[in-house]
Structure formats: structure tokens, C-alpha cells
Amino acid sequence: MWLLLQLWPVFIIVVTSFIFMAAFQPYVAWLERRGIGRTAAVVLMMLAVLTVLIGMLVLVVPAIINEFNHLRQDLPADARPLDELLARLNINANLESRARDINWSTLVSGRAAVGYGEQVLFTVVSVFTVVVITVYLLIDARQLENFVFQFVPPGREPEVVQVLQSLGRVVGGYIRGQFITSAIIGLFTLAVCLATGVPSPVAFGVIAAIADIIPIAGAFLSIAPATVAALRESATQAAIVFALLLLYKQFEDHFLVPRVYARTLNLPPLIVLVVVLAGGELLGISGVLLALPAAAAARVGLDYYLDRRRALIGTQAEPHDEVLAPD
């Protein structure tokens, strides 16, 4: 237990790599069936993923910096109407003066800058490590399978194969399903921003796609940035953007997600909520992202245990009538 606590960050990286391995394995197999060697197929797949990630950063980072600069300049003016509204309720908040008194330089310099830099560096190193381990796992998948089956008792191989296939379907299916829902909300947000004239529409589409990965809180994070950007243009424009994105989130939550994950997670909504809250409390943002795949994998283990238990109960001999019989 002490060793696990000390190596917990490494454990999270390895688990994340196995999750991405399960997600990319079908595509690597598809490329292999097209005559591409396994190593080349894995390299092509990871190059495509890295290209997408770098492209997303190139689009999002300038837009975030631009929005931050606008926020810093316009915050006192934006706080004035809210001050007037609160004054009507006999609440003296002085938000405008507080906004003017904010020392923005302390937020992006000194210890804060060092702390942000360390977090960014740690994130970059972790992502690179996950990519490297995922590549190794995909390339050496057959050797890894042979290594695992050395520890399987004779005659139990079909059960292990079935469990591994279920894990690959559940975990990999969740990741692929998330890619689908993220891509759709990203395209929808892009279309809404283009139609309403919101600046940097591509960046806000990418932000919505990334935020959609986060359960529960992602609904707010996917709507808020585009709405705030539209608010700088006009209140009517912001209301239209907010209403359209909110309607889409309702469509996604009640129609799209159940169909995308219908044969994947197989988890009740209450369990999803509790698992996400527990993951966030234990591991922060990484716990939120890994909570659902981990819960779905645990569901596979529970189903296997219950199936084995039913089989054992079904094959037990009928009890004898003697009191205290050996059976």
C-alpha cells in the first residue's frame, strides 16, 4: 500500500495508457488488415492524434490569451450594470471599484507564474509519457497477451479472453464514443458562433469539444466561454448563443449520449454521478476523466463474478436430508 501511494502518479499514467490502447486497438487492427505493418500502423495513428492535439492548442491558446486581455480591460465596465442591479436590491457590492483594484500582474508573474509553469510542464511530460507507453503497448500487444496467459490456469483461457474483450469493448468504446460526442458539440458550437458573429469561432468550438470530455462540469465549461465572448458584442447575441448551446446540451444528454453509450457503459445515472464526484474528490481533474472508464471496467468485473457465482450455484449438488451431513 505504501508503494502504491508513492507511485500513484505513475499508476495513473499507466492506466491511462491502457485505456487509450483499448481505444486505438480497433483502428490499428483495421490498418493492419489493409496491409500496413503493425509498427507503421501504430506510428500513423499516434501521429494523427498528436497532429490533432497540436492543432487544437494552436487554435485555443491565442483565443484564451485574447479573451483574458479583453476581460482585464473590460471587467470594470462589465461590473457596472451588475452593481446597479444589486443596488436596487439594497446590496452595496462595489464590484466596479474592486475590479479596478485587481492587480493583474500578480496573477501572471512571480510565484503564480512559476506554479503555472510547473503545472504546464508536468502536464506536457505526462501527456508525452502516456503517448510513449501507449505506443509500446499497441506495438507489443501480442507479446503482452502471451505474457498474461502464462499465469492463467489451464482451461480458463476462454474466460480470460471474454473478460479482456469485454474490457476492450467497454473502455475503448467509451473513449471512442467521447470522441464522437466531442466532435459533434465542437462542430455545433462552431456553427452557432459563425451564425451569430462571435469572434474566434473555431477556438470556441475546440474549447467546447475539450470541455465535453469532463462529466457534469463540462456542460457549463462548454457553454460559458462562447457566451461570455458573445456578451462583449451584445446581450441579445449572448442570449441566443446561450440558448442554442443549452438546447444542444439537453439534446446530447437525453438523446445522443444514451445512444452512443447504450452498449458501452451500462451504468445507471446515479452511479455515474457518484463515481464522477468520487473521482474528482480523490484525484482532481484526472479522477474526473478516469472515473467513468474505471467504473465501466469494474462493472465488467462484477458481471464476471456474478456469472461465475450463478454457474457455481447451478452446479452444486442437491443437499442431503441428514443433519450435519458432510456436504
Q: According to the model, what pLDDT value does residue 19 have?
A: 84
Identify the CA nearest to 299 among candidates 272, 325, 259, 317: 272
- Each domain of the chain, given as residue ranges in start order, spans 1-76+110-151
Q: Give 272's contacts (C-beta < 8 A, 6+ positions apart).
A: 215, 265, 292, 295
- Cα–Cα distance for residue pair 61/200, rounded to 1 Å: 11
- Residues 60/201, Cβ–Cβ less than 8 Å: no
Surface-to-core class of residue 185, CB atoms within 10 Å of its CB (0-12 exposed, 13-18 middle, 19+ buried): buried
Q: According to the model, what pLDDT value does residue 327 have?
A: 47
Residues 254-286, buried b or exposed e (16+ Cβ, 10 A)? eebbeebbeebbebeeeebeebbeebbeebeeb
Identify the CA nearest to 178 among candidates 287, 57, 290: 290
Q: According to the model, what pLDDT value does residue 326 have?
A: 45
pLDDT digits (tens, 9 = 90+) for 289-300: 788 788 888 888
Q: Structure pTM?
A: 0.70
| Three-state DSSP state, 246 | helix
Residue 188 has pLDDT above 90, yes or no: yes
pLDDT digits (tens, 9 = 90+) for 218-258: 778 888 888 888 877 777 888 899 999 999 988 887 777 77
Amino acid present at 222: S
pLDDT digits (tens, 9 = 90+) for 196-215: 888 888 888 888 888 888 77
Q: Give 221's contacts (C-beta < 8 A, 6+ positions apart).
A: 207, 211, 214
